[in-house]
Amino acid sequence: MTDHQIHTLSNGIRILFKHSPSPITHCCFVFNAGSRDELPGKEGLAHFIEHMLFKETQRRNTTQILNRLELVGADLNAYTTKEYTCIHASLLNQHLERAVDLFEDIIFHSTFPEDEMEKERGVILDEIASYQDQPEEAIQDDFEEYLFKGHPIGNNILGTTETVAAISQQDIHQFIKATHNTHQMVFAVYGDYKFEKLIKMCEKYLGHLAENTKQKKRISPSAVASGTYVVQKPIAQTHCIIGGRAYPSAHKHKYGLLLLNNILGGMGMSNRLNLEIREKHGIAYTIESNYTSLTDTGIFSIYFGTDAGKAAKAAKLVERELKKLRDNRLGEVQLKQAKEKFIGQIALAEESRMSLIISMAKSLMDFGHIDTLEDVFAKVNAVTADQLLEISNEIFDNDRMITLLFEPK
Longest dimension (CA), the chain: 63
Q: Is the pLDDT of residue 1 over 70?
A: no
Q: Model confidence over 276-328: pLDDT tens digits?
A: 999 999 998 889 999 999 999 999 999 999 999 999 999 999 999 999 999 99
% of the chain surpassing 90 pLDDT? 93
pLDDT at 47: 98
- Whether 219 is covered by a domain: the verdict is no
Question: Within a 13 Å sphere around the CA of 42, how many CA atoms are in the beta-carbon half?
Answer: 18
% of the chain surpassing 70 pLDDT? 100
Q: Which amino acid is at 8?
A: T
Q: Is the pLDDT of residue 330 over 70?
A: yes
| Claim to verify: residue 247 and residue 166 sit in the same structural domain | no
- Whether 82 is covered by a domain: the verdict is yes
| Claim to verify: residue 56 and residue 188 sit in the same structural domain | yes
| Claim to verify: residue 21 and residue 90 sit in the same structural domain | yes
pLDDT at 274: 93
| Spatial separation of the C-alpha atoms in residues 179 and 60, rounded to whole Å | 24
| Claim to verify: residue 161 and residue 280 sit in the same structural domain | no
Q: Give the residue numbers spanning the domain of 287.
A: 227-408
Distance of alpha carbon 239 from its chain centroid, rounded?
22
| Claim to verify: residue 31 and residue 158 sit in the same structural domain | yes
Cα(first)–Cα(last) distance of the chain, in Å?
Answer: 58
Kindly state the average pLDDT of the residues 214-233: 89
Which of these ranges, 253-257, 284-288, 337-341, has the smallest mean pLDDT?
A: 284-288
Specify the number of domains making up the chain. Answer: 2
- Whether 221 is covered by a domain: the verdict is no
Indicate the pTM of the whole model.
0.94
- Whether 214 is covered by a domain: the verdict is no
| Claim to verify: residue 173 and residue 281 sit in the same structural domain | no
Which of these ranges, 21-25, 209-213, 216-220, has the smallest mean pLDDT?
A: 216-220
When pLDDT is cut at 50, 70 and 90, the band that residue 381 belongs to is very high
Q: Calculate the average pLDDT of the chain.
A: 95
Q: Model confidence over 105-133: pLDDT tens digits?
A: 999 999 999 999 999 999 999 999 998 88
- Measured from the Cβ of residue 212, the count of other Cβ atoms closer than 10 Å reads 18
Q: Is the pLDDT of residue 388 over 80?
A: yes
| Claim to verify: residue 388 and residue 349 sit in the same structural domain | yes
